[in-house]
Homo-oligomer: A and B are copies of this chain.
Amino acid sequence: MMDHKSKRIAILSPVAWRTPPRAYGAWETIASNITEGLVDHGWKNVTLFATKDSITKAKLVSFVERGYEEDKSQIPLVSTCLHISKALEKADEFDLIHNNFDYLPLTYLPFIKTPMLTTIHGFSDPDILRVYRDHKDTYYVSISDADRDSELPYLATVYNGIDLSNLTFRETPGDKLVHYGRIHNDKGTHLAIEVAKKCGMDLIIAGIIQDQRYFDNLVKPHLNDSSIQYIGPVNPVQRDALLKEAYAVIHLNLIPERFGLVMAESMAAGVPVIAMDLGSCREVIADNQTGYLVNNVDEAVRAVAKIDKIDRRKCRKRVEENFTIDCMVSKYEKVYEEIFRREEKC
């Protein structure tokens, strides 16, 4: 058997943000973690396609200077299609293209010979299934068992792996409730506020405002300088400081979670998570062990009351055993091997 680790792997990252992102940017974070993890695992020919200001130990190839979310003079689709098409123009130089940039790369599949693995980081709208379902002869990975389309052929579920280096485990809980991620109705920021008020606890909110009207109407009116604060987006260092304050993280998502990086990060810091029982939450959290799955605000309030029953070391351990970069890359290695096996048969 040829040494797989000599195979030429292209990781296609999005170009919304730098890879890795400075603050927000979940897909770029995972694309970066896969790339760096492969290099750390001894893969010798890894190329990252990402913005020019990206940082990697692999080879970086770029056609777009900066992320279109960071440089608003760009039309997102212009940067997106240039990035994808010019990367795929080099398809013959690789043994595998690992696509982390949604559905548009799939439309170039009929024109290239190199196998493509697409990690579906989420179905942003049911309509994008038209593209996925049009390409059933390619390779897919889901990021949770919950986030699957019944018609697509998946090779595996590979949970997102997070970088633990800025997630300090702390056995002693903080005294505040914390809610972070992107501020949007889908993430239930307003429900976190309700929970905090009903518990009579302080709440710190962090993250980018993805829906300004939602923020203005349902979040901003509740903010004050003491009990309910919004501190803006946080980078990994700021996030670590934030989680130090946390008694629990409140994550009452209103749509099914696809994976839920926030939950994994929180548990890595030893912080139990109270999450809505929707989508992947019950795959990430071990109910009653590393947090509580709830169905509404009142259940969340009752869950806060029994947070002291959670062993914070179990939270950390769950992440170490399931959601590290090392775990993720090991699983992707198996997926890559399976693809190489199938392609050799062809």
Stretch touching chain B among A72-80, A288-296, A320-328: A72-80
Stretch touching chain B among A46-54, A82-90, A164-172, A266-274: A82-90
CB-based contact A82/B112 at 8 Å: no
Cβ of A81 to closest chain B Cβ, rounded Å? 5
CB-based contact B104/A81 at 8 Å: yes
Cβ of A64 to closest chain B Cβ, rounded Å? 9
Which B residues lie within 8 Å of A103 (CB)?
78, 81
Assess whether A237 is interfacial by the CB under 8 Å rule. Answer: no
| Contact flag A81-B127 (CB < 8 Å), given A89-B110, A111-B112 | no
CB-based contact B125/A75 at 8 Å: yes
Give A102's nearest chain B residue, CB to CB: B77
Cβ of A80 to closest chain B Cβ, rounded Å? 9
Which B residues lie within 8 Å of A107 (CB)?
81-82, 84-85
Produce 1/0 per residue, A90-124, CB < 8 A to B: 00000000000001100110111000000000000
Instruction: Tell me which of B75, B85, B127 contacts A110 (CB under 8 A).
Output: B85
Produce 1/0 per residue, A106-150, CB < 8 A to B: 011011100000000000010110110010000000000000000
Give A104's nearest chain B residue, CB to CB: B81
Give A64's nearest chain B residue, CB to CB: B130
Interface residues of A in 197-231 (CB under 8 A from B): none
Cβ of A334 to closest chain B Cβ, rounded Å? 31
CB-based contact B89/A131 at 8 Å: no
Cβ of A122 to closest chain B Cβ, rounded Å? 14
CB-based contact A128/B75 at 8 Å: yes
Give A81's nearest chain B residue, CB to CB: B107
Give A77's nearest chain B residue, CB to CB: B77
Which B residues lie within 8 Å of A108 (CB)?
85, 108, 111
The 8 A-B residue pairs with the shortest CB-CB distance in the complex, in nearest-first order: A111-B111, A85-B107, A75-B127, A89-B110, A81-B107, A78-B127, A75-B125, A78-B130
Known: A79-B130, A82-B107, A86-B134. 10 other contacts (CB 8 A): A78-B103, A78-B128, A78-B130, A78-B131, A81-B131, A82-B130, A82-B134, A84-B107, A89-B110, A89-B111
Q: Could you list 16 examples of A-B contacts with CB < 8 Å?
A: A75-B125, A75-B127, A77-B104, A78-B103, A78-B127, A78-B130, A79-B130, A82-B107, A82-B130, A82-B131, A84-B107, A85-B107, A88-B111, A89-B110, A108-B108, A111-B111
